[in-house]
């Protein structure tokens, strides 16, 4: 469940309401930049699992430092952009391992963002990139495995190909999830919650269909009902 809200108070209130339904809360840039790192600790103190979605992307040394700093906040998952390259991914994974060992805390999983779910094939070509999005996503996922990462963020459309290429243990997180009753917004490569789970997603990320609903708990409940009994 993506806590894409602008204050810590709103995030904690939503978390209290949705805790019975949400397996994990995602703290993204909007919330982190407005509320600061304490929001991660506060959610953890409430017993929530946290995916800290800051999509780190810089030179290896800078990303390693940032990864070390956010490991100290105690998230369960953090992420970096695969587009930062193998050196950057390796540095992030090593920094997280070292910092978790040094602080004697559980190591967060480190996953790589492949191609954003808001990008479709036409946009990909407009960006000057030839080739199919799914081929990039699969080869970047294989690169993430080689660099010692635990998984990737990708669209539901690529989940089954990644599962086949990277194995059963690889973590696949899919945003771009839209129940049949909600609008797509800016997301392009989308699937329903059951479609994403059946395709092999380990976790699905849902934001606006829940946060934008007049009844967030009811919306989350409907999604849970939909995915109950799905393979994955």
Q: Measured at the alpha carbon of residue 32, what is the angle toward residues 31 and 34, in degrees to the nearest 5?
A: 65
Residue 71 engages ligand C5P in binding (rule: CB under 6 A): no
Instruction: Decide: helix, strand or coil at residue 219.
Output: helix
Among 71, 91, 141, 187, binds ligand C5P (CB under 6 A): 187
Instruction: List the end-to-end C-alpha distance of the chain, in Å, as a whole number.
Output: 18
Measured distance CA(153)–CA(165) in Å, rounded:
15
**Cβ atoms < 10 Å from Cβ of 88:** 25
By CB under 6 A, the residues from 74 to 103 that bind ligand C5P are none
Alpha helices, H only, the chain: 8-18, 29-35, 38-45, 60-71, 86-103, 121-126, 133-146, 156-166, 193-198, 208-211, 216-227
Stretch that binds ligand C5P, among 6-14, 63-71, 89-97, 199-207 (CB under 6 A): 199-207
What are the residue numbers of the active site? 55
Residue 53 engages ligand C5P in binding (rule: CB under 6 A): yes
Report which of 52, 71, 53, 210 is spatially closest to residue 117, judged by C-alpha positions.
53
Residue 28 engages ligand C5P in binding (rule: CB under 6 A): yes
Among 77, 82, 89, 206, binds ligand C5P (CB under 6 A): 206
Measured distance CA(207)–CA(202) in Å, rounded:
17
How far apart are CB 29 and ligand C5P at their closest, in Å? 7
**Which is closer to ligand C5P, CB of 4 or CB of 134?**
4
Residue 223 engages ligand C5P in binding (rule: CB under 6 A): no
How far apart are CB 104 and ligand C5P at their closest, in Å? 30
Stretch that binds ligand C5P, among 56-64, 139-147, 201-209, 224-232 (CB under 6 A): 201-209
How far apart are CB 81 and ligand C5P at their closest, in Å? 9
By CB under 6 A, the residues from 155 to 174 that bind ligand C5P are none
How far apart are CB 50 and ligand C5P at their closest, in Å? 13
Residue 150 engages ligand C5P in binding (rule: CB under 6 A): no
Rounding to the nearest 10 degrees, give the CA dihedral for residues 123, 125, 128, 130.
140
Residues engaged in binding ligand C5P (CB under 6 A)? 2, 4, 28, 53, 113, 116-117, 153, 175, 185, 187, 205-208
């Amino acid at each position: 469940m993506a806590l894409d809200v602008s204050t810590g108070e709103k995030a904690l209130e939503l978390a209290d309401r949705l805790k019975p339904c949400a397996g994990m809360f995602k703290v993204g840039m909007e919330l982190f930049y407005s509320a600061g790192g304490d929001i991660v600790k506060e959610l953890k103190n409430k017993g929530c699992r946290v995916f800290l979605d800051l999509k780190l992307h810089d030179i290896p040394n800078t990303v390693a430092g940032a990864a070390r700093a956010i490991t100290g906040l105690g998230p369960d998952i953090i992420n970096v952009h695969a587009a930062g390259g193998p050196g950057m991914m390796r540095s992030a994974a090593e920094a997280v391992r070292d910092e978790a060992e040094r602080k004697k805390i559980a190591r967060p999983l480190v996953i790589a963002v492949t191609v954003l779910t808001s990008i479709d094939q036409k946009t990909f070509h407009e960006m000057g990139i030839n080739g199919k999005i799914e081929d990039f996503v699969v080869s970047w996922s294989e690169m993430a495995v080689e660099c010692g990462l635990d998984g990737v963020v990708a669209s539901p459309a690529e989940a089954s190909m990644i599962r086949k290429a990277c194995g059963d243990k690889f973590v696949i997180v899919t945003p771009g999830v839209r129940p049949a009753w909600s609008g797509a917004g800016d997301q392009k490569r989308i699937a329903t919650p059951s479609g994403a789970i059946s395709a092999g997603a380990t976790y699905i990320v849902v934001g606006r269909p829940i946060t934008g609903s007049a009844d967030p708990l009811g919306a989350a409940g409907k999604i849970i009902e939909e995915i109950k009994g799905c393979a994955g």
